[in-house]
């Protein structure tokens, strides 16, 4: 007779990311997990689309950490802001954030959010994309300046935190995985973890 699921040993989970936002999101699932920072070059390749860049980096991060934790289900994720096919990275400072928000005002930006789960021990690999279409309001320079001074989202792709004051910059968000915009699509992550042998509930 098979053992009840609850008594089977749980496969370890490792989040391959340096992002505090992804760490906070994954903690919502109430799973024990470790964090490991992947050593991956995140530079775009010549001609690479934002979508392909996000998918490639999510899988590369998961594979890099899985090689160090072969028995674990390793989560890798990446997000690239896509403005008409051009990737927008994290601004890093105030001036670049101002320039990004000025370019995006009144326009739609697709946040290409990719997630991968890899287990080296079993050969399991899954990869998926959760694109989020975000429409920015036609922001005035004063609004942009006030927002950036208040929240300083210089480590966020697209220079805005939708989970905070940044929601006031937006006209609409279209997504089928509501945490994808913050950086980790949890619906897809749950599906992949279950497939990798990690029970969520």
Give yes or no for a contact between 115 and 75, defined as CB atoms under 8 angstroms apart. Answer: yes
How far is the C-alpha of 48 from the C-alpha of 116, rounded, in Å? 19
Give yes or no for a contact between 132 and 122, defined as CB atoms under 8 angstroms apart. Answer: no
To the query of whether residue 78 is one of the catalytic residues in this protein, the response is yes
DSSP assignment of the chain equals: -PPPGGGSPPPPEEEE---HHHHHHHGGG----EEE------PPPTT--HHHHHHHHHHHHHHHHHTTSTTSEEEEEEEEEEETTEEE----SHHHHHHHHHHHTTSEEEEEEEEEEEETTTTEEEEEEEEEEEEE----HHHHHHHHHHH--TTSTTS--TTTGGGGGEEEEE-SSTTGGGT--HHHHHHHHHHTT----
Catalytic residue of the set 39, 78, 93, 128: 78
Write out the catalytic residue numbers. 78
């Amino acid at each position: 007779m098979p053992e009840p699921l609850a008594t089977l040993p749980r496969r370890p989970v490792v989040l391959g990311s340096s992002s505090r936002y992804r760490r906070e999101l994954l903690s919502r699932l109430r799973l024990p997990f470790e964090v490991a920072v992947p050593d991956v070059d995140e530079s775009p390749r010549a001609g690479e689309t934002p979508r392909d860049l996000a998918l490639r980096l999510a899988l590369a991060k998961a594979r890099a950490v899985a090689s160090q934790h072969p028995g674990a289900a390793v989560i890798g994720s990446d997000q690239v802001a896509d403005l008409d096919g051009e990737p927008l990275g994290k601004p890093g400072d105030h001036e670049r954030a101002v320039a990004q928000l000025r370019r995006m005002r009144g326009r739609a930006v697709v946040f290409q959010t990719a997630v991968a789960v890899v287990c080296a021990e079993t050969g399991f690999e899954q990869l998926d994309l959760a694109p989020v279409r975000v429409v920015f309001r036609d922001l005035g320079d004063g609004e942009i300046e006030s927002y950036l001074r208040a929240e300083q989202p210089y480590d966020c792709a697209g220079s805005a935190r939708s989970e905070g004051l940044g929601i006031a910059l937006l006209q609409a968000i279209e997504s089928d995985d509501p945490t994808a915009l913050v950086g980790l699509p949890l619906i897809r992550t749950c599906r992949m973890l279950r497939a990798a042998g990690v029970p969520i509930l």
